[in-house]
């Protein structure tokens, strides 16, 4: 190789100069966009100044080279030689500046890193805060859902217990430490005869009949924390007494101090009555058996006494002392036989004849016999016989005896008042399974203390010689034989006024034979 042409180098110089200008300005554009996008970023600021200085350097150098090539190609070497030192000077100056800018980067980057570190720390803190906020938000949402669910559960639970409290047929009450009632359900107030709309301010002291019972209740509650199956008597608003089965629990606060009690009470009055009736039934049954035995044993000697006394009467004519005595013996023996016959009726030893009976017809017959006697004593008879009364099956004679007994008792009760009203009524039960006949008077009534004994044999309030005390016992036995029941009401609740008045009502309840379309005339 003897020579090297310089035109490839010159061509490269020109093309390279142009490309340098282009790339430097493209770089400067992006650096500008970067700083515009993130003006606070030091690095972009540095790169912008770097690119700007580089662009200035590129223009200085590349333009210098281009001008050089143009001037030299056009043969203006002298002009280039005059311009060359200036272009070279600029090149040197800008290259030095570029280096200086790069070195300056050192201090700037330290500051930037410190800021970045701080910003990173802040970002980290901010991120943690955001995460915490998100967690709190989630927890808050969960909490809201939990509270909502819990509220629903509480509401359902409250509704359930409220329904139990309101709808319970037993008395439910809450009282404070001084036994003052705080709350009582409607059944409780109804049981005690108070109005639910205007409930009174009650204390257990007002409710318990016996103060001793209340003291025992209070002591046991404090000692054991509860009582159960305690039978006590409560006083109703009208002063009457109901028998109660009571269970109660003490309420203590967090400190363990007694703050009150809650209790449930069940009205056992009806059960107690039924139990008494049952006991009475058993007693009556045993008495009946005993009476039957005694009657059977006495009947024979009475027959012998009566027979011999009648034989002796033939030997002692009337008017003699012996004849009079024998008449007394005969009369008293017959009275004894009647008692024995009644006892046998009571104990169901007598034979019974069953047939379909119209109770209205029977009562009409009974009243036809007794009404005259009643009217004589200024007793008015009022009939209220149901036209659609069902018939019954039974022994007409025995049942007639029952109603005669009740009417006689009413007669005696009103006799002392020198007059009164007798009400005789019949009706079907609501389910038409029973026929109910009521004999009601407005006499002196039956005192509470003897109510339990009126059906006992030989129990009577009449003077000696006026009654045997077997009338109601026999009636009881006959009704029992007919699978019926007798209810006694004294004093009587007036239908119109809703208040209780003097008098007694016997309700005879007998099984009905009621066919569809069947009607009974009175």
Partner 1 sequence: MIHSNGLNKTHCLLLLTVLLILPDQAHALQSHSAPEGIYVHQLAHIFFISALCYLFWDIRRSSFPGKGWRFLQMFCVCMVLWNIVAFTGHSMEAVINASDIEVYSGYLSAKIAGPISPAKIVYYFTKFDHLFSVPALFFLYLCMRSLYRRSCEEEDR
Question: Shortest Cβ distance from residue 49 to partner 1 (Å)?
Answer: 13
Whichever of 6 and 255 has its CB closer to partner 1, that residue is: 6
Q: Please give the Cα distance from 427 to 337 (Å, whole number).
A: 37
Stretch that binds partner 1, among 34-42, 273-281, 346-354, 383-391 (CB under 8 A): 34-42
Q: Does 89 bind partner 1 (CB under 8 A)?
A: yes
Tokens of 228: 């159960």
Q: From residue 418, give the alpha-carbon distance in Å to each of 57, 227, 380, 381.
A: 148, 54, 11, 14
Single out the residue of 471, 469, 474, 509 nearest to residue 488, CA to CA: 509
Stretch that binds partner 1, among 22-30, 280-288, 325-333, 351-359 (CB under 8 A): 22-30
Among 13, 190, 206, 361, binds partner 1 (CB under 8 A): 13
Question: Shortest Cβ distance from residue 89 to partner 1 (Å)?
Answer: 7
Stretch that binds partner 1, among 95-103, 163-171, 207-215, 335-343 (CB under 8 A): 95-103
Long-range contacts of 451-459 (CB under 8 A, 24+ apart): 451/488, 451/490, 452/276, 452/280, 454/488, 455/280, 455/284, 455/486, 456/283, 456/284, 456/287, 457/284, 457/287, 457/291, 457/343, 457/346
Whichever of 96 and 259 has its CB closer to partner 1, that residue is: 96
| Three-point CA angle 371, 442, 364, nearest 5° | 30
Whichever of 25 and 258 has its CB closer to partner 1, that residue is: 25
Among 111, 113, 146, 270, binds partner 1 (CB under 8 A): 113
Q: Please give the Cα distance from 215 to 193 (Å, whole number).
A: 24
Question: Shortest Cβ distance from residue 132 to partner 1 (Å)?
Answer: 21
Please check whether residue 519 is in contact with residue 388, taking contact to mean a CB–CB distance below 8 angstroms. Answer: yes
The torsion defined by the Cα of 170, 171, 177 and 183, in degrees rounded to 10, comes to: 120
Q: Please give the Cα distance from 187 to 175 (Å, whole number).
A: 16
Among 66, 83, 87, 109, binds partner 1 (CB under 8 A): 109
Cβ-based neighbours of 154, under 8 Å, separated by 6 or more: none
| Three-point CA angle 358, 362, 368, nearest 5° | 145
Q: Does 4 bind partner 1 (CB under 8 A)?
A: yes
Whichever of 6 and 376 has its CB closer to partner 1, that residue is: 6
Q: Does 79 bind partner 1 (CB under 8 A)?
A: no
Whichever of 9 and 278 has its CB closer to partner 1, that residue is: 9
Q: Please give the Cα distance from 466 to 473 (Å, whole number).
A: 16
Among 79, 81, 96, 138, binds partner 1 (CB under 8 A): 96
Whichever of 87 and 251 has its CB closer to partner 1, that residue is: 87
Render 182-193 in DSSP notation, one character per residue: EEE-HHHHHHHT
Tokens 């069902």 correspond to 390
Whichever of 124 and 286 has its CB closer to partner 1, that residue is: 124
Q: Please give the Cα distance from 406 to 412 (Å, whole number).
A: 10
Q: Does 26 bind partner 1 (CB under 8 A)?
A: yes
Among 82, 99, 119, 450, binds partner 1 (CB under 8 A): 99
Q: Does 143 bind partner 1 (CB under 8 A)?
A: no
Please check whether residue 182 is in contact with residue 261, taking contact to mean a CB–CB distance below 8 angstroms. Answer: no
Q: Does 147 bind partner 1 (CB under 8 A)?
A: no
Among 79, 81, 82, 100, binds partner 1 (CB under 8 A): 100
- Counting residues that bind partner 1 (by CB under 8 A) gives 55
Stretch that binds partner 1, among 33-41, 192-200, 355-363, 416-424 (CB under 8 A): 33-41
Phi and psi of 379, rounded to 5°? -110, 120
Q: Does 120 bind partner 1 (CB under 8 A)?
A: no
Question: Shortest Cβ distance from residue 84 to partner 1 (Å)?
Answer: 10
Question: Shortest Cβ distance from residue 63 to partner 1 (Å)?
Answer: 14
Q: Please give the Cα distance from 340 to 292 (Å, whole number).
A: 9
Whichever of 18 and 305 has its CB closer to partner 1, that residue is: 18
Whichever of 73 and 290 has its CB closer to partner 1, that residue is: 73
Q: Please give the Cα distance from 20 to 468 (Å, whole number).
A: 149
Q: Which residues bind partner 1 (CB under 8 A)?
A: 1-10, 12-13, 15-17, 19-20, 23-24, 26-27, 29-31, 33-34, 37-38, 41, 44, 47, 51, 54, 58, 69, 72-73, 75, 77, 85, 88-89, 91-92, 95-96, 98-100, 102-103, 105-106, 109, 113
């Amino acid at each position: 190789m003897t020579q090297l042409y310089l035109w490839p180098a010159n061509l490269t110089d020109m093309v390279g100069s142009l490309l340098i200008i282009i790339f430097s300005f493209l770089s400067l554009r992006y650096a500008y966009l970067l700083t515009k996008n993130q003006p606070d970023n030091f690095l972009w600021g540095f790169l912008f100044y770097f690119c700007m200085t580089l662009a200035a350097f590129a223009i200085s150098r590349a333009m210098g080279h281009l001008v050089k090539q143009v001037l030299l190609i056009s043969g203006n070497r002298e002009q280039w030689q005059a311009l060359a030192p200036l272009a070279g000077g600029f090149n040197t100056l800008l290259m030095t500046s570029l280096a200086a800018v790069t070195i300056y980067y050192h201090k700037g980057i330290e500051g930037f890193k410190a800021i970045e570190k701080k910003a990173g720390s802040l970002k980290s803190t901010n991120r943690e805060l955001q995460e915490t906020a998100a967690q709190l938000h989630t927890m808050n949402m969960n909490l809201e859902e939990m509270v909502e669910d819990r509220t629903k559960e509480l509401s359902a639970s409250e509704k359930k217990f409220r329904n139990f409290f309101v709808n319970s047929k037993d008395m439910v009450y809450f009282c404070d430490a001084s036994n003052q009632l705080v709350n009582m359900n409607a059944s409780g107030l109804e049981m005690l005869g108070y109005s639910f709309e205007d409930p009174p301010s009650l204390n257990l002291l007002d409710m318990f009949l016996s103060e001793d019972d209340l003291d025992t209740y209070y002591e046991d509650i404090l000692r054991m924390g509860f009582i159960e199956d305690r039978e006590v008597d409560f006083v109703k608003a009208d002063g009457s007494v109901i028998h109660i089965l009571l269970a109660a629990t003490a309420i203590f606060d967090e400190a363990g101090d007694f703050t009150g009690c809650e209790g449930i009470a069940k009205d056992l009055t009806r059960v107690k009555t039924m139990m008494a009736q049952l006991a009475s039934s058993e007693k009556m049954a045993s008495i009946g058996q005993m009476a039957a035995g005694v009657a059977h044993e006495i009947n024979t000697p009475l027959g012998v006494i009566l027979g011999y006394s009648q034989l002796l009467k033939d030997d002692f004519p009337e008017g003699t002392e012996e004849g009079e005595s024998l008449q007394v013996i005969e009369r008293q023996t017959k009275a004894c036989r009647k008692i024995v016959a009644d006892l046998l009726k009571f104990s169901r030893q007598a034979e019974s004849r069953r047939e379909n009976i119209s109770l209205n017809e029977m009562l009409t017959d009974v009243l036809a016999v007794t009404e005259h006697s009643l009217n004589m004593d200024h007793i008015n008879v009022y009939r209220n016989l149901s036209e659609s009364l069902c018939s019954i099956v039974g022994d007409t004679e025995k049942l007639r005896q029952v109603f005669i007994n009740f009417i006689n008792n009413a007669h005696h009760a009103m006799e002392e008042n020198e007059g009164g009203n007798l009400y005789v009524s019949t009706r079907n039960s609501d389910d038409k399974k029973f026929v109910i006949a009521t004999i009601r008077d407005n006499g002196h009534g039956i005192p509470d203390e003897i109510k339990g004994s009126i059906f006992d044999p030989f129990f009577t309030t009449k003077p000696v010689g006026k009654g045997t005390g077997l009338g109601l016992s026999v009636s009881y036995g006959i009704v029992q034989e007919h699978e019926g029941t007798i209810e006694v009401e004294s004093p009587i609740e007036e239908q119109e006024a809703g208040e209780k008045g003097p008098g007694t009502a016997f309700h005879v309840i007998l099984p009905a034979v009621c066919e569809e379309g069947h009607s009974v005339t009175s």
